[in-house]
């Protein structure tokens, strides 16, 4: 009986040391890894099934460490990209606010002739609908719209489009009187790499003032002429 008891006790200790304790450590390691911890120690000694399980956990831990490393690198790379992008966004916002407070209307078309930038005054001076201020709008669409509503007089709209498309690579300065009587000065300049920038300025008051000055000058000239004829 004593021998049997000692054998049972020894067997229990053996099972405890070789199975229960290693299995408990493996369980603790699995719990830690599932929570994202990678600082757990995993014993890789032995050749039995528990050792094989431990080696599998060790591989999982290494993959988790690598995943965390890649995530950190990706986060750092994103921050390096995000910083200049935020600066560009802020600069664009400042530029947009500034351009919207300009007295002149400004628009920019790219090398493919598509509208890529414009300010509030451009839309207001030319009374343009929102549908014409899309990224898909071309310069031909823009001129066709103006010609169709009579901004260029009774001239053929297709002819107006063709003439302006043929001279996009050249600087242009001119003025035109709109159907409502306003006079706009138009300046267009090509930009390096293709495309051009146009600036529209309402010079109605300036033209009216010039007309008043010219009228006064003519009246003075007529008066002087009358006095000369009287002598």
At residue 162, the pLDDT reads: 86
**Residue 46: per-residue pLDDT:** 56
CA 151/CA 164 separation, integer angstroms: 14
Q: Alpha-carbon distance 118 to 156, whole Å?
A: 27
Residue 175 β-bridge partners: 185
> Which tokens in the block code for residue 147?
């010609």
Q: Is the pLDDT of residue 36 over 80?
A: no
Q: Is the pLDDT reported for residue 173 higher than 80?
A: yes
Find the mean pLDDT for residues 98-125.
Answer: 83
Tokens 């000065």, residue located: 185
CB 197 within 8 A of CB 106: yes
Which of 35-39, 190-194, 198-202 is the least confident region? 35-39
Largest CA distance in the chain: 161
Which letter does DSSP use for residue 149 in this model? T
Please return the burial class of 207, using the count of CB atoms within 10 Å of its CB with bins 0-12, 13-18 and 19+. middle
Highest mean pLDDT among 89-98, 148-157, 195-204: 195-204
Mean pLDDT of 17-40: 65
Residue 94: predicted pLDDT:
47
Q: b or e along 80-94 (b: 16 or more beta carbons within 10 Å of the residue's beta carbon)?
A: eeeeeeeeeeeeeee
Percent of the chain with pLDDT over 70: 61
What average pLDDT does this structure show over 9-13?
56
pLDDT single digits (tens) 55-102: 676 777 777 777 777 777 777 776 666 555 555 454 455 445 555 667
**Could you give the residue ranges of the DSSP H alpha helices within the chain?**
2-15, 21-34, 49-100, 120-126, 139-148, 157-165, 204-230
- Evaluate whether 160 touches 143 at the Cβ level (below 8 Å): yes
pLDDT tens profile 203-224 = 988 888 887 878 777 776 766 6
pLDDT at 6 over 60: no
Which pLDDT band holds residue 34 (cuts at 50, 70, 90)? low
Q: Which residues contact 46 (CB under 8 A, 6 or more apart)?
A: 22, 54
Q: Is the pLDDT of residue 11 over 60?
A: no
Q: Is 137 left (phi over 0), alpha (psi -120 to 50) or beta?
A: beta
Is the separation of the CB atoms in 231 and 215 below 8 Å? no
């Amino acid at each position: 009986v004593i021998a049997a008891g000692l054998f049972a006790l020894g067997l229990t200790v053996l099972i405890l040391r070789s199975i229960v304790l290693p299995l408990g450590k493996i369980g603790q390691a699995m719990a830690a890894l599932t929570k994202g911890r990678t600082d757990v120690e995993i014993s890789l000694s032995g050749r039995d099934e528990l050792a094989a399980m431990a080696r599998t956990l060790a591989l999982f831990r290494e993959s988790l460490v690598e995943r965390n490393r890649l995530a950190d690198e990706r986060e750092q790379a994103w921050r390096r990209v995000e910083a200049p992008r935020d600066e560009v966004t802020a600069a664009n916002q400042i530029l947009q606010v500034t351009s919207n407070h300009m007295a002149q209307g400004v628009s920019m078309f790219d090398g493919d002739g598509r509208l890529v930038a414009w300010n509030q005054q451009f839309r207001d001076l030319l009374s343009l609908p929102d549908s014409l201020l899309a990224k898909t709008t071309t310069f031909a669409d823009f001129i066709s719209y103006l010609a169709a509503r009579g901004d260029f007089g009774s001239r053929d709209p297709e002819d107006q489009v063709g003439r302006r498309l043929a001279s996009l690579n050249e600087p242009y300065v001119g003025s035109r009187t709109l159907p409502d009587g306003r006079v706009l000065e138009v300046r267009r300049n090509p930009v390096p790499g293709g495309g051009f920038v146009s600036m529209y300025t309402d010079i109605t008051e300036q033209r009216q003032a010039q007309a008043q000055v010219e009228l006064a000058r003519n009246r003075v000239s007529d008066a002087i002429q009358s006095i000369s004829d009287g002598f």
